[in-house]
């Protein structure tokens, strides 16, 4: 979604939060990282259809928002690991009830996953 915060323009906590998770792939990134840290390529394979550029951009925004942590290991070949920060973990928890709502009301009672 849009790149930059609009500090002070938020009307309530919900639209502030929406600004953080509004990107097309962000909740899926959160969800993947929730299970375990991922390397760039692994993350990419878990998000079918995302391009490198867009994935990079979304990760950068999440990084700026303090949601994901980017750790560069100085090796060859390069290795970069993405993981959730404590803030990211708390965001994921806050998303739980919304996820339940979506499962029950949009997906139509799919078992779970």
Partner DNA sequence: CAGAATCCGAAATGATACTG
Partner DNA sequence: CAGTATCATTTCGGATTCTG
Which of DNA, a copy of itself, none sits in contact with 90, Cβ below 5 to 8 A by type? Answer: a copy of itself
Q: Would you count residue 3 as binding DNA (CB under 7 A)? A: yes
Which of DNA, a copy of itself, none sits in contact with 109, Cβ below 5 to 8 A by type? Answer: none
Judged by CB, which is closer to a copy of itself: 2, or 53? Answer: 2
Q: From CA 109, how far away is CA 100, in angstroms rounded?
A: 10
The Cβ of residue 23 has, within 10 Å, a number of other Cβ atoms equal to: 19
Q: Which residues contact 88 (CB under 8 A, 6 or more apart)?
A: 30, 33, 62, 66, 67, 68, 69
Which of a copy of itself, DNA, none sits in contact with 86, Cβ below 5 to 8 A by type? Answer: none
Of residues 81 through 110, those in contact with a copy of itself by CB under 8 A are: 87, 90-91, 93-107
Are 96 and 85 in contact by the 8 Å Cβ rule? The answer is no
Are 39 and 51 in contact by the 8 Å Cβ rule? The answer is no
Of residues 31 through 90, those in contact with DNA by CB under 7 A are: 39-42, 49-54, 56-60, 70, 77-80
Closest to 58 (Cα-Cα) out of 36, 40, 37: 40
Binding site for DNA (CB under 7 A): 1-3, 23-25, 39-42, 49-54, 56-60, 70, 77-80
């Amino acid at each position: 979604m849009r790149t930059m915060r609009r500090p002070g323009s938020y009307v309530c906590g919900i639209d502030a939060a929406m600004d953080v998770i509004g990107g097309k792939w962000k909740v899926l990134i959160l969800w993947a990282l929730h299970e375990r840290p991922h390397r760039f390529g692994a993350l990419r394979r878990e998000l079918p259809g995302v391009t490198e550029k867009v994935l990079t951009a979304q990760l950068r925004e999440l990084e700026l928002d303090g949601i994901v942590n980017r750790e560069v290991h100085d090796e060859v070949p390069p290795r970069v690991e993405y993981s959730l920060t404590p803030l990211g973990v708390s965001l994921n928890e806050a998303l739980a009830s919304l996820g339940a709502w979506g499962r029950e009301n949009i997906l139509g009672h799919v078992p779970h996953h």
